[in-house]
Each structure stands twice: as C-alpha cells, then as structure tokens.
Structure 1
Amino acid sequence: MLLAGIGAGVINAVVGSGSLITFPVLMAVGYPPLVANMSNSVGLVPGNFTGAYGYRHELSGQRSRILRLGAVSLAGATVGAVLLLKLPPGAFTTVVPWLILLAGVLVLAQPLLRRALDAHLGTQRTTDHALPLYTGIFGCAIYGGYFGAAQGIIMMALFGLFVSENLQRLNGVKNICVGLANSVAAVIFIAVGQVAWLPALLLAVGSTIGGYIGARIGRRLPPNALRGCIVVVSFVAFTVMMLK
C-alpha cells in the first residue's frame, strides 16, 4: 500500500490517474468498492499538495486563476462526494473509461484544436474566463469527488483548450485544483462515510513522497513530452478499465 501510494503520487503530479494504481490495490486486499474509493480519496490528498509545492515556481503569478478554478473545483467535488453517498455504485463508472479516452484524445489533438479555435474566433478566442472552461472544470470536479481516477487528465485537456498558458504552469494549477477537489471529498467521507484508516494513512505517507518526486520529474519534461505522457497514460487507463 505504501509503494502504491508513492507510485500514485508520482503519476498524479506528472499526469493524473494515480487512483488507477491505488484503487485496485485496495480492492485486492479485501476492501469493498465504496470503502476503497473513500479511503483512496483520503489517502491521496497529501500527494496532490506536495506535487503542487514541487511546482511552486510555475505557480508564481497565477493566484487569481488558482482562486477562481479552485473555488469551482471545491463546489464540484462537494456535489460529486454527495452523489457517491447517494447514488448506486455503478451509476458513473459505466462512462468513466470513455471520459478518460476522450480526455486523452483532446490532449493529443490540442494543438490542432487550438489553431482551429484561433482561426474561428480570432480576437474573441476563448480564455480562462470562458464559460466552457468553468463548466468543464465543475463537471470534472464532480467526477473527481465521485471517483477521481484520471481527473487530472481530463482537467489538463480542458486547460489545453481554453487557457492560453504554458503547459507546465497549467500542470501546477491542475495539482492544486485536484488537491482541493480531493480534500473536500475526503472531509465529507471522513464525516459521514466509511474510511479504512490504516491503508488511508499508508497511502497518505506514500503519496506525500511520490508527489514531490513526481513534480521534480514532471518539471523537467518539455511540453510535447508532457503531452505525450498524458496521452499514453490516458490510453493505458482506458484499456485497463475496459478490461476490468
């Protein structure tokens, strides 16, 4: 569990989708899906923030963007966590693999899509103030509060389309937004859900270490390499989830 937490922390800081490691491990050692999901959300929170700390230089000058997108992420994750407690367990998981695949395709096609948007909209091109971005991040956070695997991949796809910014700087923002979404979900799960504390604590220690390591790795990747990592992980995640 500790090693799974380290691995998930690394992947979450660089790309997202670390839950695809930790959630199956929790299931394999005998925890039911609902408990595994809640414990996983609690355990991965520290890694999101050590990953964000590793990107602190890239986060410089983005306070306003972080406050806006962070607030949207908190609101969406609250809705998602409540839905997890109220809806049948399989309500969202049917579409999860397809969301991950769509996010990977969007990241892969991002340069072409951005050029098309620029040509179509000209000076009115979408920015990080655009309604589509906030709507997408809100939906992404709902999904994150509910399940969360590959939330970071979906968020990076949205950023790539609707925010005019360096990919590495956006990756730092992604780590904060995902951390906030996981945090509010974790608080709700701790208050009214079922958390297996021993694995959650082991995941917390591991993800704390892995998040910092992942940030050091991710910051050294050129934009195209980072985009390639996101695409590869998303397609692997889609394949694994479809097989399951």
Structure 2
Amino acid sequence: MEALEMVAVGAAGVAAGGLNAVVGSGTLITFPTLLAFGFPPVLANVSNNLGLVPGTLSAAYGYRREMKGQFGRLVRFGTASLVGGLIGALLLLELPADAFQAVVPVLILTACVLVLLQPRLNRRLRNREEPGKKDGGILLWCGVLATGVYGGYFGAAQGVLLMGLFGATLLDDLQRLNAVKNVLASIVNGVAAVLFIVVADIDWTAAGLIAAGSTVGGLVGARYGRRLPPTVMRGFIVVVGVTASVLMLLR
C-alpha cells in the first residue's frame, strides 16, 4: 500500500474502533476501505477481523466498571460466542463469500426493532419474570450463539444484533449490556482471528494499521460512549443498524 492508503486504512481503524465500542458495525468502515484499495473480499475480511481484535479488547477494557457483578453472565454467554465465532470462521473459509448476503440485512433490521421496543419489552418482562429466568434462558443463549456464527463469518453489526437480543430479553441498564456486548465481540473476533492466523492468508500491513487505529478508537469510544443517555444510545444503535442494512442491500 502507498502512504496515503496506509493513512486512510489507519483512520478507518480509528473510526471503526470507536463505533464498535458504542454499538458495533465498525466493519462497515474498514471492510469497504480495504475493498476500495483493491483487496480481494476474503483477504479483506480476514485481515479486517484480525485488525479489529485489539479495538474490541480496548473497548471492553474501557467498559470495565460496567462489567462489575456480571461475571456469571459473561461466562454463560462467552461460551456461546466462543463456539459461534469458531463455526462462523470455518464457514467463511468454506462457503461462498455471499452466502449470508440475503439474510443479514433482515437480521440487523430485526435487531433495530428490538432495540426500539426495549423499554416496552422490559416492562412486560418485569411483570412476567420467573425465578431463574433473569438471563434470558436457553433461547437467548442460542441467539448469542447464532450471532457469534455471524460475527465469525463477517461481523458487521454483530453488536447491533447482540444489543437487540439483550434489550428484548434482559432487565438491565443499557450501558451494562453494552459492556457485555464488547466482551462477547472480543471473544468472537479473537477466536476467528486465531483460526485465520493458522490457516488463512493475511495482509499483515493492513491488519496492523487497523489494529493500531481500532485500539485508539476503542478507548475513545468507550470513554465517551458510556456517557450517552439510554434514549440517545438507543437512537444511535438504530441509525447505525439501518445504515448498515441499506449499505449491505446496495452491495
């Protein structure tokens, strides 16, 4: 890559890291940037996934205060993300690049609807909550697993999907749920990155530039994203999710 291209990829990494910290969909910035500079889709996807791992880790660190008291939840859903991320990465290496193209926009838009309906859904959950059902039950675990599969395969807007699932099924503060989302995204991207390092071709220059940028962006996004009121954050999630769906439909 030429110098200007390297600067552009690094800047895209910063933007993606900040966006991932607040809601997700950072891939929609870095992945098209790599494609614009002539990267083949699979090479761009693999290099981008590896590069975004440090950014998701820095975002998770930035939300460490919101993770207090959630260790059990992190372990429970972390197993689903680990398995799902591994399956998704394997699918990326085996299936055609456009295999999920038709269903992904529908999933993202569904998640946006769930985020919008979160306050009403939470009120109903409070009225019907049963002992032992405070973490969404097996259906939510399966939803996190499926999101992990998608995240390992492509990853754009996996944060929107997770926040939609959490907002519809868990009674908790939106910022605390966002902290869990950041950890789960780190697990999905991390396990996929390990597999890609072992068996896939990677452009290490692109991955390194995205990694450096996304680390900075993740820390900055976590610092300011945690200050957003629930209503503002919910609106931001919906805007990003709808934009992601439109962009993917136009591809």
Give TM-score scaled by structure 2 length.
0.93
1:197 matched to which residue of 2?
Answer: 204
Tell me, in whole angstroms, the C-alpha distance in 1 between the residues paired with 2:198 and 2:103: 28
Q: Which residue of 2 aligns with 1:112?
A: 120
| Contact 1:118 1:125 (C-alpha < 8 Å) held by counterparts | no
For residues 88-103 of structure 1, the aligned pairs below 5 Å read 88-103=96-111
Say whether residues 1:228 and 2:248 are aligned partners: no
Aligned partner of residue 12 in structure 2, secondary structure? helix
Separation of aligned partners in 2, 1:74 and 1:196: 24
Q: Which runs of 4+ in 1 moved over 4 A?
A: none
Question: What is the aligned partner in structure 2 of residue 241 from structure 1?
Answer: 248
- Structure 2 gap segments, 5+ residues each: 1-8
Mapped partners of 2:158, 2:14: distance in 1: 18
- Aligned counterparts of 2:109 and 2:170: Cα–Cα separation in 1: 21
Q: Does 1:30 align with 2:20?
A: no
Q: 1:122 to 1:56 in 2, by over 3 A?
A: closer
Are 2:150 and 1:138 equivalent residues in the alignment?
no
The residue identity in structure 2 corresponding to 1:216 is: R
1:122 deviates by 4.7
- Superposed CA deviations along residues 56-75 of structure 1, whole A, max 9, x for unmatched, are 11111211111111111001
5 Å-filtered alignment, 1:56-205, equals 56-119=64-127, 121-123=128-130, 126-205=133-212
Specify the code of the residue in structure 2 equivalent to 1:189.
Answer: F
- Once residues 4 and 17 of structure 1 are traced to their aligned partners in structure 2, the CA distance between those partners, rounded to angstroms, is 12
Alignment partner, residue 218 of structure 1:
225
1:46 aligned partner, one-letter code: P
Give CA-to-partner distance per residue, 1:147-199, whole Å, 9 cap, x none. Answer: 00000000011111222211101101100100010000001111101211100
Letter in 2 for 1:176: V
C-alpha RMSD of matched pairs (Å): 1.4
Deviations 1:51-100 (A, max 9, x none): 01111111112111111111110011001101111111111122111111
Distance 2:84 2:19 in 1: 23
Query: Structure 1 regions of 5+ residues with no counterpart?
Result: none
Establish whether residue 18 from structure 1 lines up as the match of residue 29 from structure 2: no
- Confirm whether residue 3 of structure 1 aligns to residue 3 of structure 2: no
Q: Percent identity?
A: 53
Q: Secondary structure at the match of 1:221?
A: coil
Does structure 1 retain, via aligned residues, the 8 Å contact 2:54–2:215? yes
Residues paired across the two proteins, number? 243
Q: Name the counterpart of 1:41.
A: 49
| 1:220 partner SS | coil
| Bigger Cα displacement from structure 2, 206-215 vs 87-96 | 87-96
Paired residues of 2:125 and 2:171 also in contact (CA < 8 A): no
Distance 1:67 1:122 in 2: 22
